[in-house]
Amino acid sequence: MSRIPVGVLGATGIVGQRFVQLLADHPWFKVTAVAASDASAGRPYAEACHWLLPTAMPEPVRDLIVQPVEQMLEYPLLFSALPSDVAAPVEDHLADSGAVVCTNAAAHRMDPDVPLLIPEINADHTVLLETQRQRRSGPGFIVASANCSATQLAVALKPLHDAFGLLKVSVVTMQAVSGAGYPGVPSLDILDNVLPFIPGEEDKLESEPRKLLGAPGHGRIEYAPFEISAQCNRVPVRDGHTECVSVELEDQASAEEVIAALRSFETSPEVASLPSSPPRPVLLSDEDDRPQPMRDRYSEAGMCVTVGRVRACPLLDFKFVVLGHNTLRGAAGGSIHNAELLVTQGYLPRPGVAL
């Protein structure tokens, strides 16, 4: 079966490299083009990219010549790992020209007709694509992955919102340095230190989960009505964001019922069958000192969210710890997962069928 040819925008960055790594052995998609800034364009990928992952750079991409993003128009499926300010006009232009863009950038996440998608929790939000295609008067569209911290928070909140209703959420994050891209935070600012500010992050964490857990209707999403207060910190961890979360529930529940809701959270058979779906979206840890980024970030190939320390909260109702891999579940892995959903829902042709 021939795989669908795809292009990766921002392919030399931290998230772009994850795309290249994950797509090397993907059963449906194959990287045939890479793009980055003018500083990289025109050079072979192996020369332009400072490869940061512990596995070797995949052989088939080494000799691809990095292109400027404007030249990616001929590739109908594009994965974007561009900085948000660059992504804003570029992704719109590509989608207006007929491309399907699965993006990690924040630029279009909150556009009313852009699905902010996590297959396990809101696969029905793709209904927005009809409205978006009408706006663009063509087949192209943008589908966005959420902010990395918002992704893992929303996955953990979904079973609780469904079972008991959420009223209030308080979250304090400890975010890995890879979340800032490469070269990211200077080492002398982050070693032996905690930075209690990540520009723009708290706004994203306070708004995106409400769209993710909202209900689709009339060409837009009705945001979930609960409130979120977020405090975001950068910590000297390489990969994996940890979040301490407290929730107030609409319905009364015992700790056992909250644990049971998290443990029994399953996705639809359609989503469960996608190549990148973990066996369970939430992995519940019973150990007192877990989850930990060093030990738990690669659970289920980095695509599940690990929840632990579920217990009563004296201020709100319950509190717990959530961990997710920011460049896998929270970025490249999430976008590839979204594209797989688009294939099964018929928004992209099946592999082997011409685009």
Ligand X SMILES: NC(=O)c1ccc[n+]([C@@H]2O[C@H](COP(=O)([O-])OP(=O)(O)OC[C@H]3O[C@@H](n4cnc5c(N)ncnc54)[C@H](OP(=O)(O)O)[C@@H]3O)[C@@H](O)[C@H]2O)c1
The binding site for ligand X (CB under 6 A) comprises: 10-16, 36-37, 39-40, 69, 81-84, 86, 104-106, 148, 178-179, 181-182, 326-327, 330-331
Query: Of 125, 161, 241, 337, which residue is the catalytic one?
Result: 241
Comparison of 297 and 318: residue with beta carbon closer to ligand X:
297
For residues 125 and 152, what is the distance between their CA atoms, to the nearest angstrom? 18
Side by side, the strands of the sheet bearing 305-312 are 227-234, 166-175, 241-249, 318-324, 305-312, 282-284
For residues 109 and 143, what is the distance between their CA atoms, to the nearest angstrom? 8
Comparison of 11 and 237: residue with beta carbon closer to ligand X:
11
- Residue whose C-beta lies closest to ligand X: 13
Burial class (CB within 10 angstroms; exposed 0-12, middle 13-18, buried 19+) of 279: exposed
**What's the min distance (Å) between Cβ of 111 and ligand X?**
15
**What's the min distance (Å) between Cβ of 152 and ligand X?**
11
**What's the min distance (Å) between Cβ of 90 and ligand X?**
7
Query: Of 49, 108, 125, 148, which residue is the catalytic one?
Result: 148
Comparison of 212 and 284: residue with beta carbon closer to ligand X:
212
For residues 108 and 104, what is the distance between their CA atoms, to the nearest angstrom? 9
148 in active site: yes
Token reading at 55: 């596995």
**What's the min distance (Å) between Cβ of 39 and ligand X?**
5
Comparison of 8 and 221: residue with beta carbon closer to ligand X:
8
Specify the DSSP element, H or E, that contains 8.
strand 4-9
241 in active site: yes
DSSP assignment letter at 40: T
Residues annotated as catalytic (active site), given as ranges: 148, 241
